[in-house]
Structure formats: structure tokens, C-alpha cells
Amino acid sequence: MIWCRNSVRPALVSGAAFVLAACGRPKPPAPPQPVAAARPAHSIVPMPVSVQMTPADTFSVDSATTVVVTSGAGAEAERIAGYLVYLLGGPLAPAARTMAEGETPPANSIQLSIDPAKASSGSEGYELVVARGRVTVSAATPNGLFYGVQTIRQLLPWSIEHRGALNRRLRIPGVRIVDSPRFAWRGAMLDVSRHFIDAEAVKRYIDLLALYKLNRLHLHLADDQGWRIEITSRPNLAAIGGSTQVGGGPGGYFTKAQFADIVAYATSRFITVVPEIDMPGHTNAALASYPELNCDGIAPPLYTGIRVGFSTLCVTKEETYTFVNDVVREIAAMVPTPYFHMGGDEVQKLTHDQYLRFVERVQGIISANGKQMIGWGETAPANLAPGTIVQHWKRDSSALHVARGGKVILSPGPRTYLDMKYDSSTVLGLRWAGLIEVRDAYDWNPATLIPEIPESGLLGVEAPLWAETLVKLEDYEYMAFPRLVALAEVGWSPQGVRSWDAFRLRLAEHGPRLSALGVNYYRSPQVPWVQ
């Protein structure tokens, strides 16, 4: 036996290999090990700006824990406290109350406070400290508090998502977090036109957006296959235009009351609803409902296929602009939010000049109704006001709009299109923009996507979910999750704290959470899912 000076006791070792290693020679290659992925220190998605774990400081939630709101924080903060109590769970939930002025926060409490001094972290930022006897979330605005609460939610075990699981041992790991979003616009788009999903399904989607700190829900409310919103002055739009969908199913539409319910629900989760009525193309449902919108005055039949580009409003008729004004006016009154999306994509039946003049006229109608216009990338060459927003989805001249002082939302097809297949074996979805695995959805930098558009020209990012091939809610969820989670981190986290290798490990921990929420997500082979 050979001995080296630094060797360990002979009883613990045997064989020449050890002896050589102990003597400082190169080790032979280790036999392949089953790779047990390392568990991350936390699994917060999107990754916060700064996270400092303080392992000595675990906070335990028990039946004596109280959620307290500091005096003067306001009704919104109180509502968020109620939401946190709800998240903490059922009949065993700790109580929430507002503290008296000057009162010291009690021990064993989770304290929410509005602190104008935190304004430096922006209108959506927050600070969270989890210490042994106390958790504190402070933010300059209720939006920030809400996001701080979402972070607490993700620090808690996934079992809190399971409303039926009442036997809980809830521990929040000690941590100090300072956080705020990279982009103001962190959006998701739902196409409710190609197939219709009801208000309850939309609200469920809204709840999932909130978990990942997304703040815009763009609803694509009208296309060739269906008109999905009640317009009182134009009843045929819903009655006729809303009566079918791709494949010929029954379609449907939101009544004004249902739409108001969606908007209110989104607002309660700090999500702005962005209504889109696509025009002048993608309008067969409207053209079928009102013959006068057609240049020949003849209403075409309803359409249930998936071709694009064949329809257009008659841009040379005044009736068309009266119609647009009626629709914009009524929808503008339904949403308290500043935006109206006029679509503007894939128009093949007009000259370029006709198309641009139409876009400019609609921009005027939208602004006369007090809203800010958004248009797909094709609208960029029109004479747009700098306050108008362009949404990029494929090669376009949106850089032009930035050069004139306007802002752009990025929805690049090969990264953000949730209707693209994951791989060649995905049953649902399309593939014109490519196959999009989770890494493709995650691993890109908005600031370098279009070389002529610097970060300052970007409002943010958005992931559209087009629904030509999606019928049931499970279909929508399968295509959106987990790619939408990846997009949420692209939109929120600074590029410097993002890495695919770390993200996939954090995302892996969201498998049980999504399952507890009943989400039908895609088990990507790129992610070492925790069971």
C-alpha cells in the first residue's frame, strides 16, 4: 500500500485510485451519476432585482398570526390584506386589521404599509423583509404591495394553492427583497374570437397572470370568425357576428355586464384590460352582420375557417367611420383604462395608401373618444402620433415609430407566440413562427431584439395566445404554461439577474404549484420538474 502525507485513515479507503488521488495526481473520470438537479434557494418567478436569504429568520404562520395594515395605508391596502388572508387559507386563516395611528406592529404579524419614501422603486416596486417574528411589505403604491404579496405567496409552500388542503404548516424563509419591474407593460393576449371562452375562464387566466406579476390583459374581441362583445347601437354584431366560431361551433359573446365583471376582476388584480377590435381586415364577422360595411352592400356569409387576409371594411364609405366611432365610443365607455387596440394587421384587400389613410382616421376617432391607440406593427408607416403604441409581431417598421418618439410593445412571433407548437409532436397549435420550447420563450433580451430600438423605446413585452386550434380551457393552459411564466420574467427581471440555467430550476418548483391550481401545463423535457 502506498501512503501519502495527507491521506485519511486506511480503514476508510481502499484501492489504488484513492491512493493516486490523495497524492495529488489527476483523478480518473467520475462514473456517471444520476443528475439530481440542485434545489434553488428560492423559486420566485419572476426573479426579483435583489434577494438576500437570511436562513436564521424563518417566519411561521399559525392561528395567532395577524395581517396588519399600517394606519392611513388606505382601502386598497386593506383589500390586499384580505387577499393575503384568503391566500393563507380557509377557515384557519389569520385575521387582518388596520392598526391605530402610532401603534407598534404586534409580534407574529405580517405588516403591509404604503410608504411614499419607497417611490424610488417605481410605481410597482416593493420591499419585503421576512424576519423571525415579523414580515413586512412596504411599497409606494398598492400595486407594489400586491406584488410583494405575490412574492410571499411564492415563498410559501405550494400547498397553499390547494384550497382543500387545510392541514398546513406554513413557513416563510427569512429573506430581504428589493424589487421593481424592468418594463411597465407585461402583457398577455387572449384571442376569444377564433374560439370563444366565457368570462369565468378569462377570470381564471387573470388569476394566473397575477401570480406572475403580469399587468396587461389584451382581449382580441373581434376577428373574421366571431364578434365577442355586445354593442348596444349595433346589436347584430353580437347576435349574428357572435353566433359561430372556427369549426362552426356556437361561438358566443360577452354581454356588457359580463365584460364589466371581467374588467373589475382584472382591476382587482392590478391588471389593465386592453380591448382590441381588429380592423380594417379580420372583419368578416362584422361584414356579415351589417351589409353596409361592404363596398358592394352585400353581407358575406359567416366564416368558420382559419384563412387570413380576405376581409376588409369598405374604407371609402362614410358609414364605415360612423360604425367605427359607435364601436370605439361604446367600448371606451366600458373600460376605465387608457387604451384601444385597433388591430390593423394582415390587410391584403386595400392599396397601401388606402390602408394608411384608414389607420390615421381611426387614430383620430380613438383619440376623440379619449383613448390612446395601439396598432399591430403594420400600422407603423402611417402618420402616427407619438402617444400611439405599436405592437411588433413580425418584421416591420416599428423602429420608425420609435424614431418619432413613440413606444413599442414586443411580441416577436418566434419568442412570444403561445399558439406555436413546443416541438414537432405537439398536437395543438400552429408552426409558422417556428417551434417554441420553453428556453426559446425565455432566453432573449428585449433590448437587443431589434437593433434600431433601444430599451428606452420599449414599453414592454406581451405574449399573444391565438386560438385557431384551441377549444377547451385546458388547451389554452397547455399552450400558455409554462411559456407565459418565462415571458413574465423577461418582462419583469433585469437582464443581469436572468439566466436560463437558474430559471429552469426555479420553474421546476412551480410544477406542483401549477398542478395544485389545476393548470394543465406542458411538462417540458427542458425543465427538471419537481413532483
CB of 193 to ligand TNX, least distance (A): 9
**Any idea of the CA torsion for 353, 356, 360, 365, to the nearest 10 degrees?**
100
| Residue 421 contacts residue 413 (beta carbons within 8 Å) | no
| Residue 485 contacts residue 439 (beta carbons within 8 Å) | no
Chain Cα centroid distance, residue 349: 33
Residues 176-215 that bind ligand TNX (CB under 6 A): none
Q: Which is nearer to ligand TNX, 220 or 407 (CB)?
A: 220
Hey, how many other C-beta atoms are within 10 angstroms of the C-beta on 296? 8
Q: Which is nearer to ligand TNX, 328 or 470 (CB)?
A: 470
CA atoms of 221 and 278, how far apart (whole Å): 8
CB of 76 to ligand TNX, least distance (A): 35
Identified binder of ligand TNX from the candidate list 308, 399, 435, 447, rule CB under 6 A: 308
Residues 368-427 that bind ligand TNX (CB under 6 A): 376, 393, 417, 419
Q: Which is nearer to ligand TNX, 376 or 522 (CB)?
A: 376
CB of 265 to ligand TNX, least distance (A): 25
Q: Does 430 bind ligand TNX (CB under 6 A)?
A: yes
CA atoms of 285 and 477, how far apart (whole Å): 26
Q: Which is nearer to ligand TNX, 115 or 468 (CB)?
A: 468
Partners of 278 in the β-ladder: none
CB of 61 to ligand TNX, least distance (A): 44
Q: Provide the strand spans (E) within 122-234.
A: 126-130, 134-139, 170-172, 175-179, 185-191, 216-223, 226-227
Q: Which is nearer to ligand TNX, 182 or 282 (CB)?
A: 282
With cell 430599451, the residue in question is: 455
Hey, how many other C-beta atoms are within 10 angstroms of the C-beta on 79? 16
Cell of 436: 417554441
CB of 428 to ligand TNX, least distance (A): 12
CA atoms of 311 and 281, how far apart (whole Å): 5
Identified binder of ligand TNX from the candidate list 57, 124, 127, 345, rule CB under 6 A: 345
CB of 31 to ligand TNX, least distance (A): 47
Q: Does 462 bind ligand TNX (CB under 6 A)?
A: no
The pattern of x and - marking residues 496 through 525 that bind ligand TNX according to CB under 6 A reads ------------------------------
Q: Which is nearer to ligand TNX, 419 or 489 (CB)?
A: 419
CB of 308 to ligand TNX, least distance (A): 5
Q: Which of 82, 85, 86, 73 is nearest to 126 (CA)?
A: 73
Concatenated DSSP letters for 340-389?
Answer: EEEE-----SS-HHHHHHHHHHHHHHHHHTT-EEEEEGGGTTS---TTSE
Q: Which is nearer to ligand TNX, 466 or 478 (CB)?
A: 466
Identified binder of ligand TNX from the candidate list 254, 466, 478, 529, rule CB under 6 A: 466
Q: Does 330 bind ligand TNX (CB under 6 A)?
A: no
CA atoms of 12 and 4, how far apart (whole Å): 15
CB of 485 to ligand TNX, least distance (A): 20
The alpha helices in 224-317, defined as continuous H runs, are: 236-239, 256-268, 284-289
Residues annotated as catalytic are 346
Instruction: Name 386's Cβ contacts closer than 8 Å, sequence gap at least 6.
Output: 404, 405, 406
Identified binder of ligand TNX from the candidate list 76, 346, 360, 443, rule CB under 6 A: 346
Q: Report the chain's terminal Cα–Cα distance, integer Å.
A: 47
Cell of 364: 383620430
The H or E element containing residue 18 is: helix 16-22
Q: Which is nearer to ligand TNX, 436 or 458 (CB)?
A: 436
Residues that bind ligand TNX (CB under 6 A): 308, 345-346, 376, 393, 417, 419, 430, 466, 468
